[in-house]
Structure 1
């Protein structure tokens, strides 16, 4: 039975890499995404081999068991092809590819997966990640060492623990079957999308209800707006639903769409350009498949890195606190070089410091009580004292007090009278 629904496939080099090592396939019953690894030539070849080896599986199946067996056999054959390619062309050694595939059989989706490309399901207004990443950081998440959010930005997030490659003739795919229902949307994508666009934004794009082609374009635009540091490949499959079925020639995108199939580009020594360091690194492998014993070494290195980061954070906080303490001490020391004249209860006082306070912290202290009563000051001087009078120095503050004393003396009548001149007397002679 031919699958009833609509689909779309799209692939983009991204904004950093100079070539597209991804491949994608959207047919009548088969839908695949493969993300190649192994440098400029190897990644292209690996993902192309995987797509073209699985392409004959795009046909109706009598049962899900038949589809599963065919998918596993095709993946094993593809692994053999990669081994032979590396043997025939030594410069391709280390090539490999992720593989995420769906074969639609009646009302079921037969899923095969290896690597860190992903399959999501949009159903009942929710997006669910169906596949599990075969990565080092996913093992850290599964063991509780880091959170899923930390895994998104972990420096080892591209370290693959399982992949279709020239190192394993019998690849272990995750194989399972899921029931489908009208309205389901299955999203297959490389980590060029999932590493940039999170599930919340994928959900928003799905909710818009656009046709698979327009939804794929929307998701690709989000990845490009987010920087697109890797190739981006999207295959979107809609089960039934409101959009008409697209029939005809299957869609092949990415490196597998090359008419020459698995043409190997010539190996060229990289030419460095200090003005464009990103482009110089663009041909480096985007993934790495370590030997099994390397896992414990990575875990131990991750522990050391976490410890260094923790001590670095503590040291940084201590430096910041020391700088804040020094700044506070310097600021307080400066305030103690200032003076002002103000009121204390009922008398005039010279203060050391500044008039402002920081919360409960007082930045001034009484230095000398002048014994000049506020009540004895003229009204205008009393108001000035109550509002405080800033002095340039302690001697300036004493001069201000002298003027206030003179004002108080005039109010109380204690201003000394001028000495009278002597009375003139007649000259006795």
Structure 2
């Protein structure tokens, strides 16, 4: 059952939070979820600013490239809005928001993503996560240190590595384009859903093929039944192949639905700050007309800076090489305080080796310290096996004692 061109958006505070810092938008061709952060005072402002900036993108586009460019530009502008908001309200410093957006262009979905909110595609009764979380635990998963299941319960699962915020004037969104097919259902959600409800239960709900609104209600119920420790925002859109050019009022939910969420008081007198270079840069002139001699000085200073940078790199490289050489020398010197008993390949006799058994590529870290003259063929088979595997000694005296025992077992007499 396909609900062509239909969509729904829903947002809930959850069972633990005191306010809703999420925002969602479902319009004609634009669908967005933003999960704000920055404490009680800032998260709702951040997600609201993002939604209100992006909602201007809800119109038709001549191509997917135009939609991508518009989405990236709007995200950058939203970051600028946050920088200005913090300038006016310093208590909001550190605010930010995740952002997941889809712009439908004909039979394509233009996707923008930053943070740990997610976009899923339900196609042919299979749910697939389209976006990749920008989180610390996702890096652990990508590097193979933990499993995706372990990531769900990791104590650092909420640590974000990338987000739309007042700290970055040029945010880096994951941008890509995917074709849509008849029957596709797209699910955008904050981690209030994906962090509580696993994909099996999401897929079970989507498989019921209910209308978007009822499906969103069903997913929200799962999150509430799971304790809903965070705000939950869900946007669902059904696509029947080529997306129609819809019109009409959009659905705005969460913090962005409250006009007070984006009201910023008049700016306070600016104060210099060494802790927030982006905020400080916002107080400086954007351009000026320098005199010719000033330009020449800039060129000369740039040259001097380039020379200093090159000297700094060379000095740093030499220091690193010297430290590495010292470390290697120290490590090699340490290996020469170790001894072991093994087989001399030249004479097939028992030998005391100085160093360690391992080699460093083509470099041997051991050499024959003493050839004992004990033939391997004279040793009992068990002792032959031990020597072939090498016998680690605690010291040179210990190695000498080991040789004495081997000599005794060979029947060749005691050590002279």
TM-score range, shorter chain: 0.5 to 0.7
Q: Which residue of 1 is the match for residue 197 of structure 2?
A: 197
CA distance in 2 between partners of 1:226 and 1:44 (Å): 23
Structure 2: distance between partners of 1:222 and 1:257: 24
Which SS does the other structure have where 2:161 is aligned? coil
Q: Distance in 2 between matches of 1:63 and 1:99?
A: 22
| Mapped partners of 2:39, 2:78: distance in 1 | 19
1:39 is the counterpart of 2:39? yes
Report the Cα offset of residue 240 of structure 1: 2.2
Kept after mapping to 2: 8 A contact 1:4/1:245: no
Distance, in Å, in 1 between the alignment partners of 2:70 and 2:264 is 28
How far apart, CA to CA, are the structure 2 residues paired with 1:259 and 1:83? 19
| Equivalent in the alignment of 1:114 | 114
TM-score, structure 2 as length reference: 0.61
**Cα offset, 1:138, TM superposition:** 0.1
Q: Is the 8 A contact 1:98 1:116 kept in 2?
A: yes
Q: Displacement of 1:171 after TM fit? A: 0.3
Q: Is the 8 A contact 1:102 1:109 kept in 2?
A: yes
Whether 2:99 is the aligned partner of 1:93: answer: no
Shift of 1:248: 2.2
State the Cα RMSD in Å. 1.8
Residue by residue, what CA displacement relative to the aligned partner does 1:361-400 show, whole Å, maximum 9, x if unpaired? xxxxxxxxxxxxxxxxxxxxxxxxxxxxxxxxxxxxxxxx
- Report the counterpart of residue 168 of structure 1 in structure 2: 168
CA apart distance, 1:211:
0.2
Deviation at 1:263, TM superposition (A): 3.5
Contact in 2 for aligned 1:183/1:240 (Cα 8 Å): yes
For residues 330-345 of structure 1, the aligned pairs below 5 Å read: none
Asked if the contact 1:11/1:253 (under 8 Å) is kept, the reply is yes
Query: Contact 1:6 / 1:246 at 8 angstroms: preserved in 2?
Result: no
Deviations 1:281-326 (A, max 9, x none): xxxxxxxxxxxxxxxxxxxxxxxxxxxxxxxxxxxxxxxxxxxxxx
Shift of 1:246: 8.1
Query: Which residue of structure 1 lines up, in the alignment, with residue 224 of structure 2?
Result: 224
1:119-162 superposed Cα distances (whole Å, 9 cap, x missing partner)? 00000110000000000000000000000000000000000000
Paired with 1:79 and 1:63, the residues of 2 have a C-alpha distance of 25
Deviation at 1:231? 0.1
Provide the C-alpha distance between the structure 1 equivalents of 2:181 and 2:240, rounded to a whole number of angstroms: 8
Residue 259 (structure 1) shift: 2.6
- CA shift in 2, pair 1:194/1:264, >3 Å: farther
Kindly indicate whether the alpha-carbon contact (under 8 Å) linking 2:89 and 2:264 is maintained by their aligned counterparts in 1. Answer: no
Q: Do 2:28 and 2:245's aligned partners in 1 also have CA atoms closer than 8 Å?
A: no
Map 1:389-408; keep pairs closer than 5 Å.
Answer: none
Q: Which residue of 2 aligns with 1:124?
A: 124
Counterparts in 2 of 1:16 and 1:255: CA distance versus 1, 3 Å: same
SS at the partner of 2:259?
coil
The question of whether the paired residues in 2 share the 8 Å contact of 1:6 and 1:245 is answered with: no
Distance 2:197 2:44 in 1: 24
Alignment of 1:226-245 (within 5 A): 226-240=226-240
Mapped to 1, the partners of 2:135 and 2:67 lie a distance apart of: 26
Question: What CA deviation, in whole Å up to 9, does each residue of 1:184-208 have, x standing for no partner?
Answer: 0000000000000000000000100
Query: 1: CA distance between counterparts of 2:120 and 2:199?
Result: 9
The answer on whether the counterparts of 1:9 and 1:253 sit within 8 Å (CA) in structure 2 is yes
| Structure 1: gaps spanning 5 or more residues | 266-429
1 CA distance for matches of 2:139 and 2:264? 34
- Alpha-carbon distance in structure 2 between the residues aligned to 1:162 and 1:224: 28
* Counterparts of 1:61 and 1:245, CA distance in 2: 10
Preserved CA contact (<8 Å) 1:118 1:133: yes
Matches of 2:77 and 2:104 in 1, distance apart?
21
Contact 1:12 1:231 (C-alpha < 8 Å) held by counterparts: yes
Report the Cα offset of residue 41 of structure 1: 1.5
For the Cα contact (< 8 Å) 1:6–1:240, is it kept in 2? no
Structure 1 residue 87, shift from structure 2 partner: 1.3
Look up the match of 2:8: 8
Larger radius of gyration: 1
Per the alignment, in what secondary structure is the counterpart of residue 40 of structure 1? coil
Q: Distance in 2 between matches of 1:263 and 1:189?
A: 25
Q: Measure how far apart 1:264 and its partner are.
A: 6.3
The answer for the alignment partner of 2:212 in structure 1 is 212
What's the secondary structure of 2:74's corresponding residue?
A: helix
Contact residue 82 and residue 95 of structure 1 kept, 8 A: yes
Partners of 1:246 and 1:118 in 2: CA distance: 24
Tell me how far 1:245 sits from its aligned partner.
Answer: 10
CA distance in 2, matches of 1:234, 1:255: 13
Q: TM-score, normalised by structure 1?
A: 0.59
